[in-house]
Structure 1
Amino acid sequence: MIYGINSYNEKPDNTVRQGINLYISQEAYVKKLLRYKNSGIPIYIDGKKSSTHDLMHMLKVSEYSREYMGDYIADKNLENLEEIRFEKIKIKI
């Protein structure tokens, strides 16, 4: 890991630390989605079953623009995850 050093107190800068934490959580999220996909849980993007390439591209795009929202669909008993769906959303500000 690379930390930014504040020359006044030689501790990692909070902005850099927050960026590192965000990167770690995004990386963990990607790994978790790939584990679901590799275990046979289908992941759909805009209604189409996604390839790993599609998933990685969508995550890269949404990392910066927050264009996609994920829905985790469980079975009728709410015991097992059946599929994950990402849909493009539009946010009006």
Structure 2
Amino acid sequence: MDALRLSQQLEQLQTELACLQAEVKRLEALYIHQATGQTTRITMAEAENQLGVSRFHIRRLIGAGIIQSGQRIGAGKNAKWTFDYQEILHLVKNPSFLNIESVS
């Protein structure tokens, strides 16, 4: 196999792995919610890395009142936003929410 083909296969496998990791996270959150009634929180960086939702979209959705589970933890430069994992996942599965024009 040539290097280009191997590179393409590696990229495809990395994409599949990212999808599987996101599915595992979703199933873990669902299990925790069903077993304990507690919601699983996800940071903005995790939402961006694991689910592919950009910080820009998250901020716009918070401003529009669509995301209501946002909670700021910490202060200053060390502050982090966390969200209900199921709420963010719902938005990812319904991409019309991520359309900036529909939020404005």
Into which bin does the TM-score normalised by the smaller protein fall? 0.3 to 0.5
> Please, what TM-score do these two structures have when normalized by structure 1?
0.39
Question: Which is bigger in relative contact order (C-alpha 8 A, separation at least 6)?
Answer: 2
Larger radius of gyration: 1
